[in-house]
Amino acid sequence: MDSQSNNENQNSASTSSNLEVDEDTAMCDSMVVGGDKTSADYYFDSYSHFGIHEEMLKDVVRTKTYQNVIYKNSFLFKDKVVLDVGAGTGILSLFCAKVGAKHVYAIECSSMADMAQEIVKQNGFSDVITVIKGKVEEIDLPVPQVDIIISEWMGYFLLYENMLDTVLYARDKWLVKDGLVLPDKASLCLTAIEDADYKEDKIEFWNSVYGFDMSCIRKQAMMEPLVDTVDQNQIVTNCQLLKTMDISKMTSGDASFTAPFKLIAERDDYIHAFVAYFDVSFTKCHKLMGFSTGPKSRGTHWKQTVLYLEDVISVCQGEAVEGSMTVAPNKKNPRDVDIMLKYSVNGRHCRVSRTQYYRMR
């Protein structure tokens, strides 16, 4: 899953952008943003257009991994009842039906559900796949329990869009005891990069625009994590695991956390930004399967998430950048993610300690 495209449709009424929410300025998830549409409507609407599904389907790392998980582990699916949470075009349901699932319930709230319905029929799976148009939180499932929940819920920075909550809701409501959630592990990782050129272009640009000081926009640009592809040659430190989530056991609250980190410089260089990315795995397969969205792996539509630093940190090989990252859904608009980053360096050329706030929106 992915969609920052819906951002463009949402009026950015909120100016609160850290973990201490300003009650007055923060935007509510269902606030009216134009006509009779709410921001929540725009979120689901963005999935009504085929373009976003085309992008996801053409992300072969993503889609092939799900296909391989299902095709190479047909023993998991044979004669099982499967729930596809956020079915989109129905691709995951089709994979499951093809390897012999007894029945698949494909829930999709956007109008892509109508297409999924037609696709299912066109491919001769009408007897096995039932498409249900509606929100997971609002629909009635024709059966009391399912054996497997499959979903592709991951957003930028893993947690943007907060669809994980929907998967946990479905798990707690319908999954049979000892049932499977696929994928069942998701990890957030961190590294640090040299990025002078791009920081200059995206951030420092605002300091002087045709001779005018627009640095008030620089502040906003700094707070907005940038979703982009990072060249692995820019990586200065090791990569560290921040947090692993066990989707089969976790609660919704576990998606808010503080994780410490200690990144070690692998060469002498400057650091301009931290880079976050995620890995996903299917540990209940015959062989461990999954994929990484890290800069050293084959690219995906999630790219990486770049968090620029106020300071340019100069590090020598072996020196540490220590700190912690706090992640939480924004209180007023839970599809947004608030990030607090603390970091400090006590090196030969650089001594610095700072806290920065970001918001994924």
Q: Which range, of 132-140, 189-197, 300-308, 340-348, touches ligand SAH by CB under 6 A? A: 132-140
The token duo for 36 is 């009779």
Helix (H) or strand (E) holding 41: helix 39-45
Q: Which range, of 13-21, 87-95, 172-180, 327-335, touches ligand SAH by CB under 6 A? A: 87-95
Q: Taking a C-beta distance cutoff of 8 angstroms, is the pair 177, 147 a contact?
A: no
Q: Which range, of 135-143, 211-219, 220-228, 288-296, touches ligand SAH by CB under 6 A? A: 135-143
* Cα–Cα separations (whole angstroms), residue 207 to 69, 155, 199, 213: 49, 32, 12, 5
- By CB under 6 A, name the one of 26, 27, 56, 129 that touches ligand SAH: 56
Rounded Cα–Cα distance for residues 78 and 280 (Å) = 24
The token duo for 346 is 């006590």
Write phi, then psi, for 9 (nearest 5 degrees): -85, -20
Residue 300 Cα to chain centre, angstroms:
12
Rounded Cα–Cα distance for residues 65 and 155 (Å) = 17
Which among 322, 348, 345, 330 is positioned nearest to 160, based on CA atoms?
A: 330
88 binds ligand SAH (CB under 6 A): yes
Cβ at position 166, least distance to ligand SAH in Å: 4
Beta-strand relationship, 320-329 and 32-34: unpaired
Long-range contacts of 218-222 (CB under 8 A, 24+ apart): 221/308, 222/308, 222/310, 222/356
155 binds ligand SAH (CB under 6 A): no
319 binds ligand SAH (CB under 6 A): no
| Mask for 223-262, x = binds ligand SAH (CB under 6 A) | ----------------------------------------
Q: Taking a C-beta distance cutoff of 8 angstroms, is the pair 324, 17 a contact?
A: no
Q: Which of 54, 55, 152, 319 is catalytic?
A: 152
47 binds ligand SAH (CB under 6 A): yes
Q: Which range, of 68-76, 82-90, 304-312, 338-346, touches ligand SAH by CB under 6 A? A: 82-90
Binding-site size for ligand SAH (CB under 6 A) equals 23
| Nearby residues of 113 by Cβ (< 8 Å), 6 or more positions away | 87, 106, 131, 132, 133, 134
CB-nearer residue toward ligand SAH: 153 or 261: 153
Q: Which of 54, 55, 138, 161 is catalytic?
A: 161
CB-nearer residue toward ligand SAH: 135 or 342: 135
Residue facing ligand SAH at closest CB distance: 86
- By CB under 6 A, name the one of 82, 91, 285, 306 that touches ligand SAH: 91
Rounded Cα–Cα distance for residues 219 and 214 (Å) = 9
279 binds ligand SAH (CB under 6 A): no
Q: Which range, of 34-42, 130-138, 309-317, 340-348, touches ligand SAH by CB under 6 A? A: 130-138
Burial label, 161 (beta-carbon count in 10 A; 0-12, 13-18, 19+): buried
Cβ at position 302, least distance to ligand SAH in Å: 12
86 binds ligand SAH (CB under 6 A): yes
CB-nearer residue toward ligand SAH: 1 or 146: 1
Helices (H), 123-194: 164-174
167 binds ligand SAH (CB under 6 A): no
| Catalytic (active site) residue 152 | yes
92 binds ligand SAH (CB under 6 A): yes
- By CB under 6 A, name the one of 96, 97, 128, 136 that touches ligand SAH: 136
Q: Taking a C-beta distance cutoff of 8 angstroms, is the pair 129, 90 a contact?
A: yes
Cβ at position 161, least distance to ligand SAH in Å: 8
- By CB under 6 A, name the one of 42, 73, 108, 159 that touches ligand SAH: 108
Q: By three-state DSSP, how is residue 359 classified?
A: strand
| Catalytic (active site) residue 108 | no
Residues in touch with ligand SAH (CB under 6 A): 1, 44, 47, 53, 56-57, 86-89, 91-92, 107-110, 112, 135-137, 152, 163, 166
Residues identified as active-site: 152, 161
